[in-house]
Amino acid sequence: MIAPAPRPFPAAGTVRPRYAAPVESDYDAMAEFHEVHMPAAWDRLRDVTTETFGDIGADGLIVDIGAGSGLGSAMVADATDAEIMAIEPNATMRAMMVARLDNAGVLDRVTVLPQPVPAALDELPVPVDGVLAAHMLGHLTDAARTRLLDWIATSLAPQRSALLTVSADAPVDGHDPVVEERTVGRHVYRVTHHTPAPGRYEGVFEVIDRRQRVVRSLRDTTPWEAVTADDVRTALDRHAVRITEPQPGVARVTRLAPRSSTTAA
């Protein structure tokens, strides 16, 4: 097999550190719960991921932004033979990702980058043939989210797409908590999600034994902004893109082909 020609990386400029200092977060403590509860959320994206990226060949490049423990990158690798670049700033999540992708036999075509967004965007070759940004838009500041969306709209190859997970509905402050549970051996792993105020998320993560005792408990108050498909449309209204919603909670951004110009004789 002939290896595809490498894509150009950003032009060299002022000398700067290639990698930022390691970024640690509450994901270190939540990683265990993440692995228990997130596979179900990713399974709901399997069909639309295959539909969006399945026709990209081995010479293509797909970027997984906020790759976490590699659930999305593994799904993309299962759908296409394309090269993958996975961005994940948390060291614990990166360790889990590398193990998952190695077990899946696809580690040789996944490059892992440790920088956060938007700094990581400067390290990526362009154009790209696909972008996956799932379960992460709400973590970004307004400025970082705007920078990411602009990068997507201008860095996708024409007629290629990005998949973004978004809030299915406009945010409602103080909504009833959402509870998820899964049995792990003799324990039940329970997470309770709640949004008590604008831009504020609260999650209570508990391990409960057979006598209904809380063995372990963790509270997360990570800032989180609910981002809808309409918010994405508003942010990208000046770009030549088409935005569709292939299923609830998913926005697909497709870069339009440039219009052909003709000169009158």
Structure tokens belonging to residue 54? 């399945």
* pLDDT confidence of residue 17: 38
Is 89 or 196 the better-scoring residue by pLDDT? 89
Crossing angle of the two packed helices 91-103 and 27-43, in degrees rounded to 10: 40
The 10s digit of each residue's pLDDT in 124-150 is 999 999 999 999 999 999 999 999 999
> In the chain, at which residue ranges do the beta strands (DSSP E only) sit?
61-65, 83-87, 110-113, 128-133, 156-165, 178-184, 187-197, 200-208, 214-220, 241-247, 250-255
The pLDDT-based confidence of 176 (bands split at 50, 70, 90) is confident
**pLDDT at residue number 223:** 82
Q: What is the DSSP letter of 107?
A: G
Residue 23 pLDDT: 37
- The pLDDT assigned to 196 comes to 77
For residue 35, count other CB atoms closer than 10 A to its CB. Answer: 17
* Cis peptide bond prior to 127, omega within 30° of 0: yes
Specify the pTM: 0.86
Q: DSSP H helical segments within the chain, as ranges?
A: 27-43, 46-53, 71-79, 91-103, 142-155, 229-235
The rounded mean pLDDT for the chain is 87
Tens digits of residue pLDDT in 215-256:
999 998 878 888 999 999 999 999 999 999 999 999 999 999
Q: Would you place residue 168 in the very low, low, confident or very high pLDDT band (cuts 50, 70, 90)?
A: confident
Looking at residue 12, its pLDDT comes to 42
More confident residue, 57 or 8: 57
pLDDT beyond 80 at 98: yes
Q: Which CATH class is domain 27-169+226-255?
A: alpha beta
Between 4-8, 17-21, 170-174, 217-221, the lowest mean confidence (pLDDT) is in: 17-21
